[in-house]
């Protein structure tokens, strides 16, 4: 029979030690060809049952050896089935080497990581955003530096990744790399994908991330109040570079676009929406999700102001934006000029759009989520959690209405009582 397998456990009676014990061997036969190995157990000559291939009796020693023999048989049969399922040609030697682990090619962690990153890089713009590729690249750099520091090696086999490696890596990110909790979790999640690839390809026998859970901490994001936005708008800035940064920051406050999305805006992104007004139609660089945003009057004023700016006059770009680093540095100066104590960064404008400009003014959370290009409503709901001021305003309006109604009811009741008295 093709690929037939038989197993025989036996002892060599001619080779016994001083205690009259002999090594137990396993003979693997495939299509009449043999391969042998010692199972690293010994048994007394008189206790071996050659016909059954087991140890006689019910002593604890006999039970331990017989259970071990059954375990080996099960492993060998599983290996045999895997060869058949994968339609691989094999011999008795192949099965023996697979059982002993001699056939295993030690896949290296950083090599797997780099192969993955190369694939992601080629799919940028198709299946992945450029920022996603950059995040994986940074995650690999952190893993490489951790391995160098902790293991004093350039790379390690993926089989060496265990729960201790993961928790130690997390500690390293938070201490040595000074990463915040959420940043550390995101880098580990990137690394988790690489380990899961190894698990899917059977390069490792178990998933070391089985008992590790990614738990992100909720962060209350800052945003500008309506008064703070107005202070920036009305501030006369006589330094051209600061005036430019101020305008583009305000543009983001009224569109919700992140820095990279403002930077890549072109004239083709301006379309006429279903209401006949101008809209911004673009894809987020971070998630590649679509954003459709009606252009509010303040945003249009800024677009008009820079329509013929020398730096974009001969290009398709809409705004002459500076580097993100310079933008954030100049925003610190603007914050000082406007008396704003919050950490003014470009991304704060996106949070301000989500809260003060839209949700606070009654725009539905579903519409805000769509404009921000969020793939999940849960992401947008985080902004809604911090709008206690909006709840307070709404409830005060309700209180005033109820007070007014109560006053009218009381007035009517008093008038009737007064009429009856007369």
Read off the pLDDT of each residue in 122-141 and give the average, rounded to a whole number.
89
Q: What is the pLDDT of residue 209?
A: 94
pLDDT band of residue 412 (cuts 50, 70, 90) is low
Cβ-defined contacts of 277-283 (< 8 Å, 24+): 280/255, 282/257, 283/373
Read off the pLDDT of each residue in 296-324 and give the average, rounded to a whole number.
91
Percent of the chain with pLDDT over 90: 57
Find the range with the poorest average confidence among 112-126, 266-280, 370-384: 370-384
| Mean pLDDT score across all residues of the chain | 88
- Asked whether the predicted pLDDT for residue 210 surpasses 50, the reply is yes
Q: What is the pLDDT of residue 185?
A: 95
* 109-200 matches 226-386 in fold: no
Closest by Cα among 278, 276, 280 to 252:
280
- Asked whether the predicted pLDDT for residue 414 surpasses 90, the reply is no
Architecture of the domain whose range is 109-200: Orthogonal Bundle (1.10)
pLDDT band of residue 1 (cuts 50, 70, 90) is very low
Instruction: Report the alpha-carbon angle 273-318-282, nearest 5.
Output: 45
pLDDT band of residue 410 (cuts 50, 70, 90) is low
Q: What is the pLDDT of residue 178?
A: 94
Three-state SS for 54? strand
Read off the pLDDT of each residue in 190-211 and give the average, rounded to a whole number.
90
Write b or e for each residue in 93-130: b if 16 or more Cβ atoms lie within 10 A of its Cβ, otherwise e. Answer: bbbbbbbeeeeeeebbbbebbbebbeebeeeeeeebbe
- Asked whether the predicted pLDDT for residue 248 surpasses 90, the reply is yes
Q: What is the pLDDT of residue 398?
A: 82
Crossing angle of helices 377-384 and 365-372, rounded to 10°: 120
- Asked whether the predicted pLDDT for residue 307 surpasses 80, the reply is yes
- Residue 29 has which token pair? 């036969």
Read off the pLDDT of each residue in 399-409 and give the average, rounded to a whole number.
72
Q: What is the pLDDT of residue 346?
A: 92
Class of domain 226-386: mainly alpha
Q: What is the pLDDT of residue 408?
A: 57
Which of 68-77, 127-136, 283-292 ranks highest by mean pLDDT? 68-77
In tens, the pLDDT along 336-377 reads 999 999 999 999 999 999 988 998 888 888 998 889 888 877
- Asked whether the predicted pLDDT for residue 285 surpasses 90, the reply is no
What residues does each domain of the chain span?
5-100, 109-200, 226-386, 389-422
Q: What is the pLDDT of residue 419?
A: 56
């Amino acid at each position: 029979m093709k690929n037939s397998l038989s197993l025989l456990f036996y002892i060599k009676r001619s080779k016994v030690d001083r205690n009259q014990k002999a090594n137990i061997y396993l003979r693997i036969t495939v299509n009449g060809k043999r391969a042998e190995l010692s199972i690293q157990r010994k048994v007394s000559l008189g206790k071996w049952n050659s016909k059954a291939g087991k140890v006689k009796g019910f002593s604890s020693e006999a039970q331990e050896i017989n259970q071990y023999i059954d375990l080996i048989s099960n492993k060998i049969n599983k290996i045999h089935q895997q060869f058949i399922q994968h339609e691989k040609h094999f011999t008795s030697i192949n099965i023996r080497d697979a059982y002993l682990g001699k056939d295993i090619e030690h896949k290296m962690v950083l090599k797997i990581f780099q192969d993955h990153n190369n694939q992601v890089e080629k799919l940028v713009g198709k299946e992945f955003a450029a920022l996603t590729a950059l995040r994986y690249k940074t995650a690999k750099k952190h893993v490489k530096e951790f391995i160098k520091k902790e293991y004093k090696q350039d790379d390690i086999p993926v089989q060496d990744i265990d729960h201790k490696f993961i928790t130690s890596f997390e500690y390293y990110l938070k201490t040595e790399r000074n990463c915040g909790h959420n940043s550390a979790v995101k880098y580990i999640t990137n690394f988790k994908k690489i380990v899961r690839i190894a698990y899917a390809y059977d390069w490792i026998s178990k998933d070391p991330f089985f008992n590790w859970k990614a738990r992100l901490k909720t962060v209350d994001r800052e945003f500008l109040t309506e008064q703070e936005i107005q202070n920036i708008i009305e501030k006369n800035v006589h330094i051209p570079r600061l005036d430019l940064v101020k305008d583009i920051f305000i543009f983001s406050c009224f569109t919700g676009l992140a820095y990279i999305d403002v930077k890549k805006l072109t004239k083709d992104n301006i379309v006429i929406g279903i209401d006949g007004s101008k809209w911004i139609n673009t894809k987020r660089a971070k998630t590649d999700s679509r954003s459709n945003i009606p252009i509010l009057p303040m945003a249009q004023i800024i677009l008009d102001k820079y329509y013929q700016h020398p730096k974009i006059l001969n290009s398709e770009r809409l705004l002459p934006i500076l580097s993100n680093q310079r933008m954030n540095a100049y925003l610190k100066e603007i914050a000082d000029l406007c008396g704003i104590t919050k950490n003014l960064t470009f991304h704060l404008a996106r949070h301000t759009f989500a809260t003060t400009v839209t949700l606070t003014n009654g725009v539905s959370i579903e519409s805000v989520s769509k404009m921000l290009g969020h793939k999940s409503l849960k992401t947008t709901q985080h902004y809604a959690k911090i709008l206690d001021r909006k709840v307070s305003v709404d409830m005060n309006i309700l209180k005033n209405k109820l007070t007014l109604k109560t006053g009218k009811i009381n007035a009517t009741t008093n008038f009737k009582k007064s009429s009856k008295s007369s």
